[in-house]
Structure 1
Amino acid sequence: MKTVMITGAASGLGWALSTAAFERGYRVVMVDMNAVLLEARAEVLGRRDPQRVASRALDITDAQALQDLVMWLHNNGERLDVLINNAGITHRSLAARTASSVFRKVMAVDWQAPVDLTLACMPLLRESRGAIINIGSMAGWMPVLGRAGYCSAKSALAQFFEVLRAEVAGDGIRVLMVYPSFLDTPIEKNALGHDGKPARHSRSMIGRMQTPEWMASGIFDALDAGKKRLFPDRFTWFASLLWRLAPDLYQKLMVRKFASELEQ
């Protein structure tokens, strides 16, 4: 039986991924910092088959906690076939008004933690000739007003794992980068404002709002198909092309669409 470990597994896309993985026959190791919700979610799946669910409550920005997690995998004889770096955080605030602590937190969750966890899991992934799935964002491909830190972190995530893919291909390890746009998940509801407190204004968006269940199914289909990159939203894919081919026009359209961000 193959094992998948998912960060941010208790809500939003993480919960949809946990459910989809379970339904596809994986043993699911759920990781989340919300211990109460994580226990409840794990119990839901555990009622169907307790042998195929495990959970660990921890903060993925805690380097020691990540080391302890990997040690727990080793000590319990767990195999690891798929690591899904899903946990994330965003902000909605103008760059010039945002505290540096907000940028550091976003970078710690969205870039440093996935990198640290992946590197710690490399021995297990080499042994299983497994796969790494990273939940990036189209914001890593093109600028979005009010998301300077988020865009930076997701861009760094993409660059790191594109390099890593080439470096570990000889070990049989695959890397799938996923680039969704707007999903109906708590990440935007929990967005930070310029001062690190919850953002007080609603988000701007382009394209259609998609469900996490739709995205989770697409991710596992892409994994099964051996894809390296998944661009599930055609509208934002075209927007990213516009950014590359006509950046000035893209900037003008973005400012018009996200004008409310400039008022914050």
Structure 2
Amino acid sequence: MTTPTTTLVTGAASGLGWSLARAAFARGHSVILVDRDADALAEKHAELAAEDAPRVRHFALDLTDGPALDRLIDAVTAGGRLDVLINNAGITHRSPAARTDMKVFRQVMAVDWEAPVALTLGCLPLLRASGGCVVNIGSMAGWMPVLGRAGYCSAKAALTQFFEVLRGEVADQGIRVLMVYPSFLATPIETNALGFDGKPAAHARSSVGKVRSADWMAERILKALTRGEKRLFPDSFTVFASLLWRLAPNTYHRLMRRRFAVELES
């Protein structure tokens, strides 16, 4: 009897994380759901457990809580297997850099960079044993500047650099890394964005290109995982924007200031 692929998804109680967990479960994976929202997480667990309870586990915790993260790693290790680690949990902010409290930058960096790094390092022995893969949900904001997102851009850029280095260091150990670079998705990360003082952002987000659904993105991520891809730019807009920033940065800045003017006024 074939052992199911075991996939851990952070930020699994909503948005892209839930879409990924549900899609992986539908493909026969055993899934480990992780989120800080205990009530929502329990509901998602119950929904999947109604279909096949042995294939789903859940852990409610704040990934920036070091001791809690260590307990999660111990519990996953005790389970004996991990094939795919999806670092999806994240937060963002909408506020001009010069007006933003440092606590906001620290919080964004803790969730978007430190937590996935710590979780991945703790899970490396399991991934080494399974020949597994780390999937990181980056952002186009990690490749190019976006007004009002200085902390988020910094965290996602740091995430990219760390895991591109790690990719080279663990390749001979059979561990793969898939970096995913979405543009704008219809997920709670933007509706829950922080403002300059750490409270909810007061203004609506600006966006460019088509705002895609979480289910649309999840399907592309799992297909890229199956194909063994190293990086996923899910649509033509993400490719075009990244090239524009590199080839014509002054033009990119003019267009960004025009499109994201509300960020300068907030």
Report TM bin, short chain. Answer: over 0.9
TM, length-normalised to structure 1: 0.99
Residues 1:11 and 2:14 aligned together: yes
Match of 1:222 in 2: 224
Matches within 5 A, 1:17-166: 17-75=20-78, 77-166=79-168
CA distance in 1, matches of 2:80, 2:12: 18
Aligned length: 263
Q: Deviations over 1:169-198 (max 9, x none)?
A: 001000000000100000000000000000
CA distance in 2, matches of 1:174, 1:73: 19
Report deviation, 1:64: 1.1
SS of 1:108's partner is helix
1, 5, 10: which one aligns with 1:2: 5
CA distance in 1, matches of 2:93, 2:219: 27
State the AA in 2 paired with 1:108.
Answer: A
State the AA in 1 paired with 2:67.
Answer: Q
Report deviation, 1:148: 0.2
Report deviation, 1:237: 1.7
Report deviation, 1:63: 1.2
Unmatched tracts of structure 2, length 5 or more? none
CA distance in 2, matches of 1:74, 1:214: 31
Question: Which stretches of structure 1, 4 residues or more, deviate above 2 A after TM superposition?
Answer: none
SS of 1:83's partner is strand
Unmatched tracts of structure 1, length 5 or more? none
State the AA in 1 paired with 2:72.
Answer: L
Report deviation, 1:263: 0.6
Calculate the aligned-residue CA RMSD, in Å: 0.6
